Chain A
Amino acid sequence: SQTIHQWPATLVQPVGSPLSLECTVEGTSNPNLYWYRQAAGRGLQLLFYSVGIGQISSEVPQNLSASRPQDRQFILSSKKLLLSDSGFYLCGVRVNSYEQYFGPGTRLTVT
């Protein structure tokens, strides 16, 4: 079975600073990878997904970007954080085209 790692677990960053969140996956090859954001008490909002190395699709236009430099590595970045970027960021892997599995998440607070 697959294991999803995310780091850091928590992050406090000032407005205007850059961001880099990393997700790595073990136990599967050529996975479909996803970045979601969850605001407090809300559902998951899909930000980006990738079906292969270098292939990124954006669901929501914003100041975030994603990259997939290796098969099992997915990175979420920003050049300048906004207050509205605060939230719980989850990396996901799709299994069997149906079930979605998630990493432990990164809690980002922009101050």
Chain B
Amino acid sequence: SQKIEQNSEALNIQEGKTATLTCNYTNYSPAYLQWYRQDPGRGPVFLLLIRENEKEKRKERLKVTFDTTLKQSLFHITASQPADSATYLCAGNNAGNMLTFGGGTRLMVKP
């Protein structure tokens, strides 16, 4: 079955460093991937979309890559801040143009 997989272990980094989160997809080829931020007890918030023909996309301190060979997307936050601490979800579209979500990776940025 189509899967979006993210590292379930929390990522702990020091303030000012670059955080890199990984999203792998299996058993299908999404036309695009999306990244969302979710704070505890809140709904996810859309951050970025990257299409399969785009290698990289940036928005302020955020950068997303899409590697169709590795079947992987990387999500980077440069100059990370404690306020960036949250769970980040990756989602890919499927055949019905619905979204399949990964389990999310929790990021903790320590001051």
A residues with CB within 8 A of B = 4, 41-46, 49, 59, 88, 90, 92, 97-105, 107
Chain A residues with CB under 8 A of B97:
97
**Is the C-beta of B111 less than 8 angstroms from some C-beta in chain A?**
no
Interface residues on B, range: 20 to 34
22 sampled A-B residue pairs with Cβ under 8 A: A41-B8, A41-B104, A42-B104, A43-B89, A43-B101, A43-B104, A44-B89, A45-B101, A46-B98, A90-B43, A92-B43, A97-B97, A98-B49, A99-B49, A100-B36, A100-B44, A100-B46, A102-B44, A104-B42, A105-B41, A105-B43, A107-B41
Interface of A, helix, strand, loop or mixed by DSSP: strand
Q: Is the CB of A100 within 8 A of B42?
A: no
Question: 1/0 per residue B84-107: CB within 8 Å of A?
Answer: 000001010000011101111000
B residues with CB within 8 A of A = 4, 8, 32, 34, 36, 41-46, 49, 89, 91, 97-99, 101-104
Q: Is the CB of B103 within 8 A of A99?
A: no
Chain B residues with CB under 8 A of A101:
46
Within the assembled complex, what's the spacing in Å between the Cα atoms of A99 and B102? 16
Minimal Cβ-Cβ distance residue in B for A6: B43
Chain A residues with CB under 8 A of B36:
100
Q: Is the CB of A44 within 8 A of B101?
A: yes
Q: Evaluate whether A100 and B99 lie within 8 angstroms (CB atoms) in the complex, with A90-B43, A105-B41, A105-B42 already known.
A: yes
Chain A residues with CB under 8 A of B34:
98-100
Chain B residues with CB under 8 A of A45:
101
Q: Is the CB of B43 within 8 A of A104?
A: yes
Within the assembled complex, what's the spacing in Å between the Cα atoms of A44 and B43? 10
